[in-house]
Amino acid sequence: MRTQVCIVGGGPSGLLVGQLLHRAGIDTIVLERRSRAHVLARIRAGVLEDGLCDLLRRAGVGDRMDREGFRHTGTVLAAAGREFRIDFQALTGRSVMVYGQTEVTHDLYAARDEAGGTTLHEIDDVAIEGVDTAAPAVTFRQNGAARRIACDFVAGCDGFHGVSRRTIPRAVRREYERVYPFGWLGVLSETPPVNDELIYANHERGFALCSMRHENLSRYYVQVPLDDSVAGWPDSRFWDELRARLPARIAEALVTGPSVEKSIAPLRSFIAEPMRWGRLFLAGDAAHIVPPTGAKGLNLAASDIHYLSEALIAHYAGDGDGLLDNYSDRALARVWKASRFSWSLTTLMHRFPDQGAFGQRMQEAELNWLEHSTAAQTALAENYVGLPY
């Protein structure tokens, strides 16, 4: 088999770069380790920056998002029983869209099907070869048979545990990581959201987040120790804990119901450099992980895809390889800034094991300053709605 760009990873990053390249007349093959049903069953966050929304529209997959997504012009922060709103629209002239990552993936798969693009699922033993030469290839096994795809370039969109990043030699690769000493217990419930915008709560018992998927599907989180298990959190305990961490007005308005999905996710900040080695280009979780506090995971993947698709389209249009050569630097500049924001908001809103009463009061003091400082609110809003590409 042969293609121009072999895309390793069939999540939203791989599908989005494939769709953008298809619209520019560039041939791609997408390889995915899991089944399509498994990919579409993943529950992920869905706060989309304006940049990602525009990118989806440019890819021809933004119509359903524009019809069904929820435009949010602000968010609520709470601490010490108080709450205040950050008005994104007033401070930056911009907003965010709440539209589930699963829905984005559905839309991208539908577009790839319509385009007749090749997507191979349930593959294993993937190896990326020759990316430091002019003739790279990807080998793998599917249904027990060995297969090989020759290509011009490889887009590594296969996530944190994928083979793409590990293909870059250790002598070349630098990795930076912060593992946080807690996780998020998330519950999905078929209940109306407690608020029409997200609520981030700092509390001496730990962080809480009130989010939503749509008007009858809510997503809630509470900070828990890493060694907790889902089995130790029956629904009644979860709802009691969530209420305890929210201001009274919000807690009283909370509508509860049986959970339809419940899981605990660890938090980490991780960045790998460089994001290019020869003809291999990393994008999304293959190169970086952010804690979900700042809602930057999918959005950072999108900015990578913007830079990568722009560079590949310029190459095949005969406009030179300057953008390919600068891809890693351009992508990493935005990655580090967004990672700083996610780290900062995580540090501000969560309870750390060693912070004590002094640390808790310092967090509350910073939130009080944020409540009354237009400059501080503007900085937060600019980062939340997304820095420019």
Helix axes 12-23, 101-115, angle to 10 degrees: 40
- pLDDT for residue 213: 86
pLDDT band at 34 (very low <50, low <70, confident <90, very high): very high
Q: Is residue 263's pLDDT more than 80? A: yes
SS3 152: coil
- pLDDT for residue 44: 75
SS3 181: strand
CB 286 within 8 A of CB 157: yes
Where in the sequence numbering do the catalytic residues fall?
72, 200, 292, 296, 384
For residue 108, the tally of other CB atoms under 10 A from its CB is 23
- The sheet that has 137-142: what strands, in order across it? 123-129, 137-142, 145-150
Every domain of the chain and the residues it spans: 5-49+100-177+269-345
Average pLDDT of the chain is 97
Q: Is the domain covering 5-49+100-177+269-345 a CATH 3.30.70.1400 domain?
A: no
CB 99 within 8 A of CB 70: yes
Q: Is residue 388's pLDDT more than 90? A: yes
**Percentage of residues of the chain with pLDDT beyond 90:** 98
- pLDDT for residue 278: 98
Could you tell me the pTM of the whole model? 0.96
User: What are the φ/ψ torsions at residue 95 (nearest 5 degrees)?
Assistant: -150, -175
- The sheet that has 208-214: what strands, in order across it? 82-87, 74-79, 199-202, 208-214, 217-224, 174-189, 259-273, 288-289
- pLDDT for residue 46: 87
pLDDT digits (tens, 9 = 90+) for 87-141: 999 999 999 999 999 999 999 999 999 999 999 999 999 999 999 999 999 999 9
**Percentage of residues of the chain with pLDDT beyond 70:** 100
- pLDDT for residue 42: 80
Query: How far apart, in Å, are the Cα atoms of 277 and each of 9, 26, 106, 293, 331?
Result: 18, 21, 31, 30, 14
- pLDDT for residue 332: 98
- pLDDT for residue 112: 98
Of 20-24, 39-43, 280-284, 310-314, least confident by mean pLDDT is 39-43
Pairing label, strands 153-156, 96-98? unpaired
pLDDT digits (tens, 9 = 90+) for 319-349: 999 999 999 999 999 999 999 999 999 999 9
Q: Is residue 257's pLDDT more than 90? A: yes
pLDDT digits (tens, 9 = 90+) for 266-276: 999 999 999 99
| Preceding omega of 291 cis (within 30 degrees of 0) | no
Q: Which two tokens mark 229?
A: 């298990």
pLDDT digits (tens, 9 = 90+) for 182-201: 999 999 999 999 999 999 99
